[in-house]
Every structure is written in structure tokens, then in C-alpha cells.
């Protein structure tokens, strides 16, 4: 299971994040960290708000506001598999997406270069194909 | 995950939830049109427009909009002591917002025409 990297100093927040994390298995490591950090930030913000309003049990209430951790995780998984834009597998769209991936790190850069090589080979093959 | 709105039947309630869900992407693009906001801020703006969005529903949608290149985000260290993740619209997000508004207007115009008999209600019984 992924180590929860966020600075969850309260046991209840930490427990909640661990449960969310368990449901995020299909999601990539970087995205998972990002999700957990954002939930952690949200909970801290809510706890402060509730404390300022002198509400009882601010931590428990902030956590229950986000709902069941498994349900929250599955919403993330569902949204990760949905596209809000128009589906397009046009070569330039894929390359643009790969280029965006390339900026995220070595692995992304690798994928981008492989993709670029693939297109290069295809074009070379089309141009240089033996005439019969 | 959507909070209940006043409705006569369970069916109407589910229908209302579907409408709200369908318009949520556009509503998020709209609240970010002029400023950078973090998650809870976005939630408050939507709620103050009576769009009751559950907290757990917003963040997965923000992730999708970002994955699709419509939003960009950055962590900002807040005075509160913990960082906040601020979102803003990309160029693609603005384009998408404009085209969604066009579709929205076209749709609401065509449905408004159909609704006239219900609104006028003259033929009742």
C-alpha cells in the first residue's frame, strides 16, 4: 500500500487518508499523492473553520463531511476514467498529450520519446517503402 | 452524494440531482472565470449560488478537469500553516467554457419553447 506522504498529524485524519488511499489502487502514484494532499488540506481548512465557529467535534465533523472514504476513493477512480473534453485520438492530440506528460518527469519524457519515435518510424516507413 | 433539494417526489429529486450533476463542470469553469480559487473556496461559491455540491463530489471533478487540461493548479503556502491548492482556467478551459455556454443557451431556448404549455397551464382540465 502507498505510504501516506502528507503531514497528517492527527490520528483520525491519518486513518481517513489511509482508507482513501486503499481505494485509489487503479490511480497512478503521483496522482494519488496529489489527491491525498488535497484531501488533507481540505480537512485542515474545515477543522479550522469549525473551530472558529466553536462547533463541537470539529475533526470528526470535517471528516464526515467528505463521506465514506471508500466511496470518495471510488469517485476519484470513476472520474479518472472519464473524459470531460471531446474524445480525440488524432495523432497531434496524442502527441500534445504526450508532450504534457513529458514535462512531468523522466517517465513521461520516456513515453513522449517512444511516441515520437513511433510516429517517426511510421513516416519513414511510408516514405521509404519499397515500390513494387 | 448530492444533498437533497426541496422536491415532491423521490423521482423529481433524482432528476434534479442529475441536472445539477450535468451542469457542475460548467459551474466550476464559471466560478473560476475571473479568479484563482482553492477547493473549499470553489465549493462555497457554488453553494452560495444554491448549487448544493457534496464536498466529496467536487475534488474528483476538479481532478478530471485538470487531467483534461481545462484547469491548472498550484500549491500555495497559506498563512493558516497548511498549503492550499489553487486552480485556474487554461486557454482550453476558457474555450470549453465558451462553447458550453453556447450549448447551454441553445438547449435552454429550445426547451423553453416546449415548456410554454406547462407554464401557461390554461388547458388544465
Cα of B68 to nearest chain A Cα, Å: 7
CA closest to B23 among chain A residues: A84
Query: Which domains occur in chain B, in start order?
Result: 10-112 (1.10.10.10)
For B19-58, the pLDDT digits (tens) are 888 899 999 999 999 999 999 999 999 999 988 889 999 9
Residue A22 lies in a domain: yes
For B54-110, the pLDDT digits (tens) are 999 999 999 999 999 999 999 999 776 789 999 999 999 999 999 999 999 999 999
Comparing B93 with B4, the larger pLDDT belongs to: B93
For A39-72, the pLDDT digits (tens) are 999 999 999 999 999 999 999 999 999 999 999 9
Residue A6 lies in a domain: no
Cα of B62 to nearest chain A Cα, Å: 9
What is the span of the domain harbouring residue A40?
Answer: 11-80
A66 touches chain B (CB under 8 A): yes
Does the pTM surpass 0.90? The reply is: no
Q: Do B55 and A80 touch (CB under 8 A)?
A: no
Q: What's the total number of domains in chain A?
A: 2
Q: How many Cβ atoms are within 10 Å of A29's Cβ, its own excluded?
A: 9
> Do A73 and A117 belong to one domain?
no
A67: nearest CB among B1, B39, B85: B1
* CA dist., res. A95 & res. A118, Å (int): 11
Among A58, A80, A102, identify where a domain stops.
Answer: A80
Residue A1 lies in a domain: no
| Residue of B33, B41, B12, B3 whose CA lies nearest to B100 | B33
Amino acid at each position: 500500500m502507498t505510504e501516506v506522504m502528507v503531514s497528517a498529524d492527527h490520528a483520525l485524519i491519518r486513518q481517513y487518508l489511509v482508507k482513501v488511499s486503499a481505494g485509489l489502487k487503479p490511480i497512478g502514484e503521483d496522482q494519488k499523492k496529489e489527491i491525498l494532499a488535497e484531501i488533507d488540506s481540505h480537512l485542515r481548512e474545515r477543522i479550522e473553520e469549525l473551530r472558529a465557529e466553536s462547533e463541537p467535534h470539529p475533526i470528526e465533523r470535517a471528516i464526515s463531511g467528505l463521506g465514506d472514504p471508500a466511496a470518495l476513493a471510488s469517485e476519484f477512480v470513476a472520474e479518472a476514467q472519464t473524459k470531460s473534453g471531446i474524445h480525440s485520438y488524432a495523432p497531434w492530440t496524442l502527441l500534445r498529450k504526450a508532450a504534457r506528460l513529458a514535462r512531468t518527469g523522466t517517465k513521461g519524457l520516456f513515453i513522449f520519446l517512444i511516441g515520437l519515435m513511433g510516429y517517426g518510424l511510421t513516416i519513414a516507413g511510408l516514405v521509404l517503402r519499397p515500390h513494387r | 452524494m448530492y444533498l437533497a433539494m426541496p422536491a415532491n417526489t423521490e423521482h423529481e429529486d433524482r432528476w434534479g440531482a442529475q441536472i445539477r450533476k450535468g451542469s457542475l463542470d460548467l459551474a466550476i469553469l464559471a466560478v473560476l472565470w475571473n479568479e484563482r480559487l482553492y477547493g473549499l473556496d470553489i465549493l462555497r461559491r457554488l453553494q452560495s449560488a444554491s448549487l448544493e455540491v457534496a464536498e466529496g463530489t467536487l475534488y474528483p471533478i476538479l481532478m478530471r478537469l485538470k487531467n483534461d487540461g481545462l484547469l491548472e493548479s498550484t500549491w500555495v503556502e497559506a498563512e493558516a500553516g497548511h498549503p492550499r491548492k489553487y486552480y485556474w482556467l487554461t486557454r482550453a478551459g476558457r474555450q470549453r467554457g465558451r462553447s458550453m455556454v453556447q450549448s447551454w443557451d441553445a438547449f435552454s431556448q429550445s426547451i423553453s419553447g416546449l415548456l410554454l404549455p406547462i407554464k401557461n397551464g390554461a388547458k388544465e382540465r
